[in-house]
Structure 1
């Protein structure tokens, strides 16, 4: 299964979600590879930080920021149970390639009015990919959700009948995720991780159930 996380907008938490999906599945004994398709190489930087700190290697991270991703990712998937693609913002050729490679596309968004983040261009790219990949599954993921705010509830409700809809699982805004990115760890490797680890587990389980 190939899962791609992408959004035309930057700074929505794609890399954090990609790494935590991979980490959760790896802890379940799955063979997982992360493809860092973002020229900024944030997932690769995280992996290098983890190696410097001598933390356990849970999964491999490969840099593949080119528009041949749709041909190369399936080859990598032959030796893995799951491949997670961290795609870049604002590079249409790479986004198209990631969409054509993926079985499941996750679009991380932060809670806001629907017209603020549901860009016509992103939805058009998904529709275009479905011409070639009719079985492509797409979902929004509500990320960095502030606690108990009306806007989270309203955003989730606005997506009930939307195409694509949103996952039920949501990821909250917590400092522990920022610490994980900085230290080369994942939230379940830190103290007081219960709520965050639970959210990641629910997110990973719901994503896995989408597999065609």
Structure 2
């Protein structure tokens, strides 16, 4: 199963989600490959910051041929997570064509809702060649108990793309974990951030079945 995490707007938390989804799947005893397709190399930087054994395999592949190479690269893995580039480019198109599911992280902000249009358009174009391609929004960096946090799902409904129930709240622990090359569950296994990620991953599994 290949999951691309994509949004043409930077700063939406693609790498945070990619890393922690990969870690959660690994904790659930899946074999996971994380492909860093962002030329900025944020996932690779996360892996380099880690001390000790890696949680899962991380490679850099910021090339517009991902969809042609992923079948060979992914042999032996249950899940491939692609941390996509921050702009609409041939590289983004390749990451979409490689995927079975495209997750679109959005922050609860009008700017993020407006910016989602471009990646939704790319996904719809890709379905001409890949009819079974699935996509869904993930609300990330939600600010608890705010009106805009509650309303973002309604705002996204115009795109005819599902919004997953599981959302991820803005928490300092995500930055603290990233600085150490860790997943949030390694910092606080029973904490709310780890539970949110695990709930999201379980919902993703249901969604792609």
TM over 0.5: yes
Provide the residue aligned with 1:48 in structure 2: 48
- How far residue 69 of structure 1 moved from its aligned partner, in angstroms, is 0.2
1:58-97 correspondence runs (5 A): 58-97=55-94
- How far residue 84 of structure 1 moved from its aligned partner, in angstroms, is 0.2
- SS for the counterpart of 1:184 is coil
TM-score (norm 1): 0.93
Q: Is the 8 A contact 1:100 1:133 kept in 2?
A: yes
Residue 150 to residue 124, structure 1, CA distance change in 2 (3 Å): same
- SS for the counterpart of 2:127 is helix
Q: Is the 8 A contact 1:104 1:210 kept in 2?
A: no
- How far residue 17 of structure 1 moved from its aligned partner, in angstroms, is 0.2
Q: Is the 8 A contact 1:76 1:83 kept in 2?
A: no
1:155 aligns with 2:152: yes
Residue 192 to residue 206, structure 1, CA distance change in 2 (3 Å): closer
CA distance in 2, matches of 1:208, 1:192: 21
CA distance in 2, matches of 1:207, 1:19: 15
Q: Alignment RMSD, CA only?
A: 1.7
Provide the residue aligned with 1:98 in structure 2: 95
Provide the residue aligned with 1:113 in structure 2: 110
CA distance in 2, matches of 1:15, 1:115: 16
Moved over 6 A (4+): none
1:183 aligns with 2:192: no
- How far residue 115 of structure 1 moved from its aligned partner, in angstroms, is 7.6
Deviations 1:161-190 (A, max 9, x none): 742121100000000001111111111111
- SS for the counterpart of 2:128 is helix
CA distance in 2, matches of 1:85, 1:128: 19
**Contiguous gaps of at least 5 residues in structure 2:** none
Which stretch shows the higher mean deviation, 111-120 or 16-25?
111-120
**Contiguous gaps of at least 5 residues in structure 1:** none
- How far residue 28 of structure 1 moved from its aligned partner, in angstroms, is 1.2
